[in-house]
Structure 1
Amino acid sequence: MSLSQLSSRVWQCGKVVAESVPLETLNGELSDAKTLSWYDLTAPDREDIDILADELNLDFHTVEDAAAPGERPKVTRYPDHLFLTIYAATIGQTMTPTAA
Protein backbone atom coordinates (compact mmCIF):
# COMPACT_ATOMS: atom_id res chain seq x y z
CA MET A 1 0.00 0.00 0.00
CA SER A 2 1.59 3.31 -1.00
CA LEU A 3 -0.67 6.04 0.46
CA SER A 4 2.48 7.76 1.71
CA GLN A 5 0.98 11.18 1.06
CA LEU A 6 -2.19 10.64 3.10
CA SER A 7 -3.34 13.03 5.78
CA SER A 8 -6.55 12.64 7.72
CA ARG A 9 -8.65 14.28 10.37
CA VAL A 10 -11.81 13.18 12.19
CA TRP A 11 -14.43 15.50 13.66
CA GLN A 12 -17.26 14.62 16.03
CA CYS A 13 -19.93 17.20 16.83
CA GLY A 14 -17.80 19.88 15.17
CA LYS A 15 -14.58 19.21 17.11
CA VAL A 16 -11.39 17.53 15.89
CA VAL A 17 -11.02 14.26 17.78
CA ALA A 18 -8.25 12.56 15.79
CA GLU A 19 -5.58 13.20 13.18
CA SER A 20 -3.41 10.89 11.07
CA VAL A 21 -6.05 8.18 11.30
CA PRO A 22 -5.24 4.96 9.41
CA LEU A 23 -7.47 4.33 6.42
CA GLU A 24 -8.29 0.88 7.78
CA THR A 25 -10.39 2.45 10.57
CA LEU A 26 -12.58 4.39 8.15
CA ASN A 27 -15.48 1.93 7.99
CA GLY A 28 -16.00 2.17 11.75
CA GLU A 29 -16.03 5.97 11.59
CA LEU A 30 -18.61 6.01 8.83
CA SER A 31 -21.19 4.21 10.97
CA ASP A 32 -21.48 7.24 13.31
CA ALA A 33 -23.71 9.99 11.87
CA LYS A 34 -22.04 12.59 14.13
CA THR A 35 -18.60 11.86 12.71
CA LEU A 36 -16.99 13.57 9.72
CA SER A 37 -13.83 11.94 8.36
CA TRP A 38 -11.54 13.73 5.90
CA TYR A 39 -8.83 11.85 4.01
CA ASP A 40 -6.61 13.97 1.78
CA LEU A 41 -4.44 12.23 -0.80
CA THR A 42 -1.68 14.40 -2.26
CA ALA A 43 -0.73 13.39 -5.81
CA PRO A 44 -2.33 9.94 -5.54
CA ASP A 45 -1.44 7.26 -8.04
CA ARG A 46 -3.99 4.78 -9.38
CA GLU A 47 -3.15 2.24 -6.65
CA ASP A 48 -3.91 4.84 -3.95
CA ILE A 49 -7.26 5.65 -5.52
CA ASP A 50 -8.14 1.97 -5.86
CA ILE A 51 -7.28 1.31 -2.19
CA LEU A 52 -9.47 4.18 -1.04
CA ALA A 53 -12.29 3.15 -3.38
CA ASP A 54 -12.20 -0.43 -2.05
CA GLU A 55 -12.22 0.74 1.57
CA LEU A 56 -15.21 3.02 0.94
CA ASN A 57 -17.05 0.74 -1.52
CA LEU A 58 -17.18 3.61 -4.00
CA ASP A 59 -19.00 3.38 -7.31
CA PHE A 60 -16.63 2.31 -10.09
CA HIS A 61 -17.78 5.04 -12.50
CA THR A 62 -17.37 7.76 -9.88
CA VAL A 63 -13.80 6.65 -9.25
CA GLU A 64 -13.08 6.56 -12.98
CA ASP A 65 -14.41 10.12 -13.32
CA ALA A 66 -12.28 11.35 -10.42
CA ALA A 67 -9.16 9.74 -11.90
CA ALA A 68 -9.72 11.12 -15.40
CA PRO A 69 -7.50 14.06 -16.38
CA GLY A 70 -9.38 17.33 -16.71
CA GLU A 71 -12.53 16.16 -14.93
CA ARG A 72 -14.52 19.15 -13.75
CA PRO A 73 -14.86 19.87 -10.02
CA LYS A 74 -18.18 18.59 -8.72
CA VAL A 75 -20.11 17.03 -5.87
CA THR A 76 -22.01 13.79 -6.43
CA ARG A 77 -24.70 12.93 -3.88
CA TYR A 78 -25.28 9.30 -2.87
CA PRO A 79 -27.79 7.98 -0.31
CA ASP A 80 -25.13 7.65 2.41
CA HIS A 81 -22.32 10.03 1.36
CA LEU A 82 -21.14 12.85 -0.89
CA PHE A 83 -18.28 12.39 -3.36
CA LEU A 84 -16.33 15.63 -3.84
CA THR A 85 -13.92 16.15 -6.74
CA ILE A 86 -11.76 19.27 -6.35
CA TYR A 87 -8.36 20.56 -7.37
CA ALA A 88 -5.88 22.73 -5.53
CA ALA A 89 -4.68 25.98 -7.04
CA THR A 90 -1.13 27.25 -6.61
CA ILE A 91 0.63 30.42 -7.61
CA GLY A 92 3.82 29.84 -9.55
CA GLN A 93 7.06 31.73 -9.05
CA THR A 94 6.34 34.00 -12.03
CA MET A 95 2.93 35.05 -10.74
CA THR A 96 2.21 37.59 -8.05
CA PRO A 97 -1.07 37.73 -6.12
CA THR A 98 -2.94 41.02 -6.46
CA ALA A 99 -4.41 42.99 -3.60
CA ALA A 100 -8.19 43.09 -3.42
Structure 2
Amino acid sequence: MLTGKQKRFLRSEAHHLDPIFQVGKGGVNEHMVVQIGEALEKRELLKVSILSNNEDDKHEVAEALAKGAKAELVQLIGHTVVLYKESINNKRIELPVKR
Protein backbone atom coordinates (compact mmCIF):
# COMPACT_ATOMS: atom_id res chain seq x y z
CA MET A 1 0.00 0.00 0.00
CA LEU A 2 1.38 3.36 -1.03
CA THR A 3 1.38 6.40 1.23
CA GLY A 4 0.15 9.80 0.08
CA LYS A 5 3.72 11.06 -0.18
CA GLN A 6 4.70 8.08 -2.37
CA LYS A 7 1.66 8.59 -4.62
CA ARG A 8 2.53 12.27 -5.06
CA PHE A 9 6.08 11.28 -5.98
CA LEU A 10 4.85 8.70 -8.52
CA ARG A 11 2.36 11.16 -10.03
CA SER A 12 5.20 13.62 -10.63
CA GLU A 13 7.32 10.84 -12.18
CA ALA A 14 4.43 9.80 -14.46
CA HIS A 15 3.60 13.31 -15.60
CA HIS A 16 5.85 13.21 -18.69
CA LEU A 17 4.88 9.64 -19.69
CA ASP A 18 2.58 8.86 -22.61
CA PRO A 19 -0.03 6.09 -22.35
CA ILE A 20 1.33 2.86 -23.83
CA PHE A 21 -1.90 0.84 -23.60
CA GLN A 22 -5.49 1.63 -24.55
CA VAL A 23 -8.66 0.07 -23.21
CA GLY A 24 -11.28 0.19 -25.95
CA LYS A 25 -14.70 -1.21 -26.67
CA GLY A 26 -13.68 -4.75 -25.71
CA GLY A 27 -12.85 -3.65 -22.16
CA VAL A 28 -10.26 -5.28 -19.93
CA ASN A 29 -9.26 -8.81 -20.96
CA GLU A 30 -6.76 -11.38 -19.73
CA HIS A 31 -4.32 -10.83 -22.59
CA MET A 32 -4.18 -7.08 -21.91
CA VAL A 33 -3.62 -7.64 -18.18
CA VAL A 34 -0.71 -10.02 -18.90
CA GLN A 35 0.90 -7.48 -21.27
CA ILE A 36 0.49 -4.67 -18.72
CA GLY A 37 2.07 -6.89 -16.04
CA GLU A 38 5.05 -7.55 -18.30
CA ALA A 39 5.42 -3.85 -19.13
CA LEU A 40 5.28 -2.97 -15.42
CA GLU A 41 8.12 -5.41 -14.74
CA LYS A 42 10.25 -3.50 -17.26
CA ARG A 43 9.11 0.07 -16.51
CA GLU A 44 7.58 0.01 -12.98
CA LEU A 45 5.35 2.99 -13.84
CA LEU A 46 3.04 3.41 -16.81
CA LYS A 47 -0.09 5.07 -18.11
CA VAL A 48 -3.12 3.41 -19.68
CA SER A 49 -5.66 5.37 -21.69
CA ILE A 50 -9.37 4.50 -21.52
CA LEU A 51 -10.91 5.28 -24.89
CA SER A 52 -14.26 7.03 -25.22
CA ASN A 53 -15.84 3.99 -26.91
CA ASN A 54 -15.32 1.91 -23.73
CA GLU A 55 -18.72 1.30 -22.16
CA ASP A 56 -17.46 0.32 -18.68
CA ASP A 57 -17.14 2.72 -15.75
CA LYS A 58 -13.62 4.18 -15.75
CA HIS A 59 -13.20 3.49 -12.02
CA GLU A 60 -14.05 -0.19 -12.55
CA VAL A 61 -11.61 -0.39 -15.46
CA ALA A 62 -8.83 1.17 -13.36
CA GLU A 63 -9.48 -1.25 -10.47
CA ALA A 64 -9.61 -4.24 -12.83
CA LEU A 65 -6.28 -3.29 -14.40
CA ALA A 66 -4.60 -2.76 -11.03
CA LYS A 67 -5.98 -5.98 -9.54
CA GLY A 68 -5.24 -8.07 -12.63
CA ALA A 69 -1.65 -6.83 -12.93
CA LYS A 70 -1.15 -6.95 -9.13
CA ALA A 71 -0.17 -3.28 -9.28
CA GLU A 72 -0.94 -0.15 -7.28
CA LEU A 73 -3.42 2.33 -8.71
CA VAL A 74 -1.55 5.63 -8.39
CA GLN A 75 -4.03 7.89 -10.12
CA LEU A 76 -7.09 8.02 -12.33
CA ILE A 77 -7.28 11.42 -13.95
CA GLY A 78 -9.78 11.93 -16.73
CA HIS A 79 -9.53 8.77 -18.80
CA THR A 80 -5.90 8.05 -17.95
CA VAL A 81 -4.85 5.44 -15.40
CA VAL A 82 -1.41 5.52 -13.76
CA LEU A 83 -0.18 2.16 -12.43
CA TYR A 84 2.90 1.27 -10.38
CA LYS A 85 4.44 -2.07 -9.51
CA GLU A 86 7.89 -2.50 -8.02
CA SER A 87 10.08 -4.44 -10.45
CA ILE A 88 11.93 -7.54 -9.32
CA ASN A 89 14.75 -7.41 -11.90
CA ASN A 90 14.66 -3.83 -13.24
CA LYS A 91 14.29 -1.61 -10.18
CA ARG A 92 14.60 2.03 -11.25
CA ILE A 93 12.26 4.06 -9.05
CA GLU A 94 13.27 4.74 -5.45
CA LEU A 95 10.15 5.62 -3.46
CA PRO A 96 10.23 8.06 -0.55
CA VAL A 97 10.56 6.22 2.77
CA LYS A 98 7.36 5.41 4.68
CA ARG A 99 7.15 7.07 8.09
Q: TM-score, normalised by structure 2?
A: 0.29
Pick 1 or 2: higher relative contact order, CA cutoff 8 A, min separation 6. Answer: 2
Greater helix share, structure number: 2
Greater strand share, structure number: 1
**Which structure has the larger Rg?**
1
Q: TM-score, normalised by structure 1?
A: 0.29
